[in-house]
Amino acid sequence: MPLAFFLPKYWVTWVGLAAMRAVEPLSYPAQRRVGNAIGMLLRRLPLSYLRIARRNIALCLPELSPSEQECLLNRHCESLGMALCETADTWWSTDRRLNQLAEVQGLHHLQAALAKGRGAILVGGHFTTIEISTRILGTVVPLNVVYRPMKNALLSHIMFSSFCRHGNPIPKDDIRTMVRALKNNEAVWFAPDQSYRNKGAAMANFFGIPAASNPATSRLARISGAAVMTYFGERLPGNAGYRVVIGPAFDNFPGVDPVEDVERYNRLLEAQVRLVPEQYLWVHRRFKGLSGDYPDYYGRDSRNPAPHGTTAALMPILRKATLADVPALNALIARSARVLSSEDYRAPQIEGALRGAFGVDTQLLADETYFVVEDGGQIVGCGGWSFRSTLFGGDARAGRDPSTLDPATEAAKIRAFFVDPSHARRGIGSLLLEHCEKQARAHGYTQVELMATLPGVRLYAARGYVGAPQVHIDVGSGETIEFIPMRKALEPV
């Protein structure tokens, strides 16, 4: 070990390592009690990471009530405390002890992949059990573990030494070594679920929110021909130990679109997070955007404590709309139309439009192409895009056409944009529109078109849309309403 690790700046680290070393020989039930105690202490400290965790839980699991979200945060802290004990087990416990605590499922999936001679890529996620889960797998199969060195050089040295005793560590940027291992018919594990903003990054939905993601899994699978499968571990209730599960190899992977590949993985990850939500690593700022155009979900002071007695302001949340949102969406659309359209349309026109031309199209929700913006837990804007032929109108409008558009020759549709009057002219519409354009572009469309209301023309014109001659749409009771067809060519990525 380098003598530099004994300098005073590492003394606190040595104290922590000594504490972890003392925890490792304890029985598993005793470790659970120690981990819970550490978690209770963490929960009471004014740590910026707890505010990040609270924000992520609110972003990803909005269906939970505020009290349920706080309860989940408490359990997450206990899980973080237990993760420290598990790290000690990962670094110093014997294979025999870990095998007694673990149940490995799906090993035949990995064996079948390796039998083809092209290696196997195991993709996991950043759960609090990440350290011990990879160690458990390394006890039953030779494993290459892709890792990120820690900022603390001493801890990084200890971690690397542990990996070398129980597997083969590969730095996260060493693609060549990963490919070489796969070509040698070996298994390579990594977790591509954290924010990635380097060259080649892509915005892919995670819990319905665009997140900067690493599409390297697709590239690695294409280069090597290796099968790709999930590997997730979970800490079982009480003192039951651990269950780790290797999923079946992905069919037709990689696909033609790396973003769709990432979202396919994300959906599997989301299912695992919902299974053990307290064990996901919520303290990571997952939703950092690729540029300043994306919402700042955490705020500039997300790592600085808010003044005592105050609550840090939360940025608006953009997420996919669900069927549970329909009542709130109908109310928002009516409120938006009656207030923001009053200078351009007469009341009978607005009320007629609300019976069909304005409204929720649940086909968009089923297609997962309709989005809402939340502020303080309230929906304040909505809008979407579509790969179907219907240009406008809610469920009540007759003559809607669900046929699929051809990206090579037809324009994607921009659909049903409405903003709460209390949030008008605050960038909500622009946020939704940019997101929908990016989604359409990612699906191969080079043009988008829409049917604009008269008050909406100003927004769309400012974003590069070009209008056609005005049209009049029948809204019943002898009333018509004026719309402007508009179109825009999307710039290539």
Pick from 70-84, 154-168, 259-273: least confident = 154-168
Q: How confident is the model at residue 304 (pLDDT cuts 50, 70, 90)?
A: very low
Given a cut of 80, whether residue 77 has pLDDT beyond it is yes
Q: Is 307 part of any domain? A: no
pLDDT digits (tens, 9 = 90+) for 143-173: 999 988 888 888 888 888 887 777 888 988 8
Residue 334 and residue 249 share a domain: no
Residues 82 and 214 in one domain: yes
Could you tell me if 330 and 427 lie in one domain? yes
Residue 238 has pLDDT above 60, yes or no: yes
Mean pLDDT to the nearest integer, 403-422: 94
Whether the bond between 348 and the residue before it is cis, its omega within 30 degrees of 0, is no
Mean pLDDT of 404-424: 94
Rounded-to-integer distance, Cα 259 and Cα 142, Å: 30
Q: Residue 296: is its pLDDT beyond 90?
A: no
Query: Is 259 part of any domain?
Result: yes
Query: pLDDT of 3-62, one tens digit each?
Result: 888 888 888 998 999 999 999 999 999 999 999 999 999 998 888 889 899 989 988 887
Q: Percent of the chain at pLDDT above 70?
A: 95
For residue 352, pLDDT over 90 is answered with yes
Task: State the CATH number of the domain containing residue 464.
Answer: 3.40.630.30
| H, E, C per residue of the chain | CCHHHHCHHHHHHHHHHHHHHHHCCCCHHHHHHHHHHHHHHHHHCCCHHHHHHHHHHHHHCCCCCHHHHHHHHHHHHHHHHHHHHHHHHHHHCCHHHHHHHEEEECHHHHHHHHHCCCCEEEECCCECCHHHHHHHHHCCCCEEEEECCCCCHHHHHHHHHHHHHHCEEEECCCHHHHHHHHHCCCEEEECCCCCCCCCCCEEEEECCEEEEECCHHHHHHHHHCCEEEEEEEEECCCCCCEEEEECCCCCCCCCCCHHHHHHHHHHHHHHHHHHCHHHECCCCCCCCCCCCCCCCCCCCCCCCCCCCCCCCCCCCEEEECCHHHHHHHHHHHHHHHHHHCCCCCCHHHHHHHCCCCCCCCHHHHHHCCEEEEEECCEEEEEEEEECECCCCCCCCCCCCCCCECCCCCCCEEEEEEEECHHHCCCCHHHHHHHHHHHHHHHCCCCEEEEEEECCCHHHHHHCCCEECCCEEEEEECCEEEEEEEEEEECCCC
Decide if 302 is inside a domain. no
For residue 355, is pLDDT > 60?
A: yes
Domain endpoint, select from 227, 254, 279: 279
Q: Is residue 421 in some structural domain?
A: yes
The answer to the question of residue 160 being in a domain is yes
Tell me, what's the pLDDT at 305?
42
Does residue 218 share a domain with residue 163?
yes
- Report which of 394, 339, 331, 340 is spatially closest to residue 365, judged by C-alpha positions: 394
Quote the number of domains for the chain: 2
For the chain, what is the mean pLDDT? 89
pLDDT of residue 197: 76
Query: Does residue 34 fall inside a structural domain?
Result: yes
Mind listing the pLDDT tens digit for each residue in 189-223? 999 998 887 777 777 888 878 888 888 899 999 99
**pLDDT reading at 467 higher than 50:** yes
* 279, 301, 336 - which closes a domain: 279
Whether residue 173 sits in one domain with residue 51: yes
User: Is 305 a domain residue?
Assistant: no
**What is the Cα–Cα distance from 384 to 181, expressed in whole angstroms?**
43
Q: What percent of the chain has pLDDT over 90?
A: 63
Q: Are residues 326 and 451 in the same domain?
A: yes
Domain of 172, in residue numbers: 3-279
Confidence of residue 493 (pLDDT cuts 50, 70, 90): low
Q: Are residues 371 and 239 in the same domain?
A: no
Asked whether residue 112 is domain-assigned, the answer is yes
Domain shared by 228 and 374, yes or no: no
- Same domain as 347, residue 274: no
Same domain, 271 and 336: no
Do residues 246 and 375 both lie within one domain?
no
Q: Say whether both 331 and 216 belong to one domain.
A: no
Give the pLDDT band (50/70/90) at residue 289. low
Closest CA to 402 of 444, 363, 360, 430: 363
Among the three residues 226, 260, 279, which one is the final residue of a domain in this structure? 279
